[in-house]
Amino acid sequence: MSYLAGMNDFVYAPPPDAPRVLYHDQAILVVDKPAGLLSVPGRGEDKTDCLINRLRMAFPEVLLVHRLDLDTSGVMVFALTPAAQRHLGQQFENRQVKKVYVARLWGELRPVTGRVDLPLIVDWPNRPRQHVNHETGRPAQTDWRVVRHEGGTTRVRLMPLTGRSHQLRVHMMELGHPILGDPLYADGAAREFPRLMLHAESLRFRHPDGGKGQSFSAPCPF
């Protein structure tokens, strides 16, 4: 099946469960986003159900700081005041937020640690796909650390140093080890998994009120 055909066949069916709140105070809200739920509304009335709209039921003042892909689960932080939104947004923009992901990859990735340094840009004829372009791409770096090999697959922790769209997914594909279950970048048997095997395990940032470093995590569901 071609990529475009796959997009035409896509039906948005978000999970019914309420997002799990990990922490909140007067300035921030930290949640564990389930896979299959948009971070923000998509195009069309059928894509209005999303994480931020669900959170507004209990936290009407909630403000977006960053996003996770539809198919990715894990830790997200939201702001509850405009000042907190600006403070957190600057930390993301200045690469001061430490992000750690868990993924399962096709094949056995070696060596056990390394860095991918490949510039990325949107692949316009096939958007929302991204691709490597050494002339016009924006810098993108990802560190990896193998956790273990599992029967022809690899469990890794991924530490993005930049925050490009689909960065982890494209970088792993470029290594020849696509993330299992990836509907955009995996083919054949690597694609035939019940979900994208990518989870935002932890976030570390400075609290907008006072600047104290805080870390939040959510256990990997696969």
Cβ of 213: how many Cβ atoms within 10 Å? 9
Which residue in 79, 80, 105, 107 sits closest to 91, CA to CA?
Answer: 79
**Dihedrals phi, psi of 85, to nearest 5 degrees:** -60, -45
Contacts of 165 (CB under 8 A, 6+ apart): 120, 122, 128, 130
Which of 190, 116, 129 has the alpha carbon at shortest distance from 159? 116
Torsion sign (Cα): 221, 76, 105, 11: positive
Amino acid at 54: R
Q: Looking at residue 195, what DSSP letter applies? A: S
- Among residues 9, 17, 32, 69, the one annotated as catalytic is 69
User: CA-based diameter of the chain, in Å?
Assistant: 52
- R_g over Cα of the chain: 17
Contact 123, 167 (CB under 8 A): no
Annotation marks residue 9 as catalytic: no
- Rounded CA gap, 50 and 182, in Å? 20
Catalytic residue set: 69
